[in-house]
A and B are shown apart, each in its own frame.
Chain A
Amino acid sequence: MPDPTKTNSRSDPPAQPRAGPLAGRRRLLQGGLGVAPVLMTLVSRPVLAVTSAGQCTTPSGFVSANASTAGRGVICTGHTPAFWANSQNFSAWPAGYNAQPPGQVSRFNAFFTPNINPGNPTFVAVLQGNAGTGNAAKDQVAQYVVAALLNVGPPVLTPVLSAAAVKDIWSEFATNGSFSPSAGASWSAAEIIAYLQTTMQ
């Protein structure tokens, strides 16, 4: 292992002796000024958990398919339905959505089609599991898509899902009873919810 006291040495080994100060300044002035000081930054990513917790994927791909981030995956920090339904977190709702007055209270049918009729439940009611579709699995999917929509924000907590993608999931599921993330694959309510849960902490 290299001697830790030598970790800040120059190149190993230096291709030529270190230039004197005057030559160095000329080099700096020719090469340095006008160039952005910091050319590139790799931001630290949190250590990936062993399980899929904290890693999330687009509906049609694996973590390893997202190779531009070299398998570090995309970290999703979305919130669960329970989080958004908790009155203590209402102040965290993104702009454009309101859990309660003042401001227009957000209702399901303003954002999702097909609508839930009759009833047009509020977001809070849906997040609490009371969408009132008449079907327990459908109520649960509604619960998770509302949470997923709030996670799109802004701020974007779930980079893998756009608002349009979330709405598509509901639209296809509510119409066909399933959602197809890619050719040949088909998700039931349980699989949709399991997927959306991977985007939430």
Chain B
Amino acid sequence: MIVAELPQRELARRLGGIGLRLRTGPVVTRIQSPLTRIIHGVALHYADHLVEDSEGFADFHVRVAPPRSLRRWIGSQVHFHFDGTRPFLPLPADQAFAMLEWGLNWCVSAHCHQFLIVHAATVEKAGFALLLPGDPGAGKSTLCAGLVSRGWRLLSDELTLLELATGHVVPLPRPVSLKNASIDVIRGFSPDAVLGAPVHDTVKGSVAHMKPPTVSVRRAADVARPRWIVLPHFERGAAAQLAPLSKARAFMHLADHAFNYDVHGRPGFELLAQVIGGSDCFEFHYGALDDAVAVFDELARRA
């Protein structure tokens, strides 16, 4: 059963009580929250995601809720709870859904050491994965949302999971987070995209989430082989240009952007070497999404 098949009342009941066991790729999370923002956020962004059995196993147990004290009426904050602890500082209540998303990212990046996890957006076409590692502001989520709106499959917006034994990307299809100007860019680029209401004044400015396309969620079990590693650089007015990046430098970039490279030691090195060895590596400058999509579609055609 998927979330969309649960009546809203039942969804609210589970979230407010025993918890909703939500599957996102290889991860099952039990989510609890009494908050309307969370109920609506889950109903919107996770509509196509599988709901696991209430008695079943969950990898993580999380809860987003206001403090249990008088403070709940003063200052309106929410906490993220993980297995009974509160690993983060509170945020304003209107950021509850963003907090859930950041918290779910943290759960995976801090614990899922069965994978090598790279801080990158990844999309797929023709069976091949395009990895977009990058620092904040480089435009990787905007590029990801744009490509995904033009026929590329979403594998992940933020956390790219690499299978140690094979080097394949294991999908983790979850909402794409958009910031500031990117929100309107994607609204204009893809009028059919499902976007939640933006929240403002977060650490990252204004933030909104784009629901992952249904096909991306349904194909969460289909892994993909890394084929292109592209470091994006958004610059207003820039012409779209791919420039070759040395494999050794691309390797260092991936290692630097891997959450748990040090956890994996030598096998982590070998895995990244394998991924780099089989991929073409580029730096990419662009100013318009249409140009970017054309460039990557051409890469896919030539693959």
Which residues of A approach B to under 8 Å, CB–CB?
1-2, 7, 11-12, 40, 42, 44-48, 50-52, 57, 59-65, 67-68, 70-72, 181-188, 191, 195
Across the interface, which residues of A come within 8 angstroms of B75, CB to CB? 185-186
Determine the distance from Cα of A40 to Cα of B258 in the docked complex, in whole angstroms.
Answer: 16
Let me know if B270 and A7 touch, CB within 8 A: yes
Say yes or no: B71 contacts A70, CB within 8 Å: no
Q: State the CA gap A61–B88 with chains docked (Å).
A: 9
Partner of A65, one of B87, B204, B257, B274: B204
Does B252 interact with chain A (Cβ within 8 Å)? Answer: yes
Complex contact B119–A70 (CB within 8 A): yes
Secondary structure type dominating chain A contacts? loop
Point out the residue from B85, B135, B259, B277 that lies within 8 Å of A72, measured CB to CB.
Answer: B259
Picked from B85, B203, B273, B274, the residue with its CB within 8 Å of the CB of A51 is: B85
Name the CB-closest residue of A to B75: A186
The answer to the question of B126 belonging to the interface, with a C-beta cut-off of 8 Å to chain A, is no
A183 to B88, CA, bound (A): 17
Closest chain B residue, CB of each to CB of A11: B277
**Interface-forming stretch among B26-34, B105-113, B214-222, B230-238?**
B105-113
Other contacts beyond A62-B89, A62-B203: 7, CB < 8 A: A11-B277, A40-B252, A57-B88, A60-B203, A62-B106, A68-B136, A195-B89
Q: Which residues of B contact A67 (CB under 8 A)?
A: 119, 135-136
**Do A64 and B77 touch (CB < 8 A)?**
no
Q: How far is the CB of B121 from chain A (nearest CB, A)?
A: 12
Residues from chain B with a CB closer than 8 A to the CB of A52 are 85, 87-88
Q: Which residues of A contact B274 (CB under 8 A)?
A: 2, 12
In the assembled complex, 23 residue pairs joining A and B whose CB atoms fall closer than 8 Å, in A order, are A2-B270, A7-B270, A40-B249, A40-B252, A46-B262, A47-B263, A52-B85, A61-B203, A62-B106, A62-B203, A63-B110, A65-B204, A68-B136, A70-B118, A70-B256, A70-B259, A71-B110, A71-B259, A72-B259, A182-B203, A185-B77, A185-B90, A195-B89
Q: A186 to B93, alpha carbons, bound, how many Å?
A: 12
Tell me whether B277 and A12 are in contact (CB under 8 A): yes
State whether A50 touches B110 (Cβ < 8 A): yes
With the chains together, A2 CA to B119 CA distance in Å?
A: 25
Decide if B135 touches A65 in the complex (CB within 8 Å): no
Give the CA-CA distance A48 to B257 in the complex, in Å. Answer: 15
Known: A62-B203, A68-B136, A185-B91. A47 touches B262 (CB 8 A): yes
- From residue B86, how far is it (CB to closest CB) to chain A in Å? 8
Q: Are A45 and B110 in contact (CB under 8 A)?
A: no
- In the bound complex, residues from chain A placing their C-beta under 8 Å from that of B110 are 48, 50, 63, 71
Contacts of A62 in B (CB 8 A): 88-89, 102, 106, 203
**Complex formed: what's the CA distance from A40 to B85 in Å?**
38
Check if A188 sits within 8 Å of B71, measured CB to CB. Answer: yes
Q: Which residues of B from 242 to 299 have beta carbons under 8 Å from A?
A: 247, 249, 252, 255-259, 261-263, 270, 273-274, 277
In chain B, what residue has the closest Cβ to A69?
Answer: B256
* Whole-angstrom distance between the Cβ of A37 and the nearest chain B Cβ: 14
- Nearest 3 CB-CB pairs, A to B? A184-B92, A70-B119, A71-B259
**1/0 per position for B108-131, CB-CB distance to A under 8 A?**
011100000011000000000000
- List chain A residues, Cβ under 8 A from B136: 67-68
Q: How many Å lie between the Cα of A182 and that of B276 in the bound state?
A: 40
Chain B residue at smallest Cβ distance from A178: B75
Closest A residue by C-beta to B76: A184
Give the distance to chain B from A194, nearest Cβ to Cβ, in Å.
8
| Chain A minimum-CB-distance residue to B94 | A184
What are the residues of chain B within 8 A of A42 when measuring CB–CB? 252, 255-256, 261
Give chain A residues whose Cβ lies under 8 Å from the Cβ of B105.
64
Provide the bound-state CA to CA distance between A67 and B109, in Å. Answer: 11
* Contact across chains for B201 and A182 when beta carbons are under 8 A apart: yes
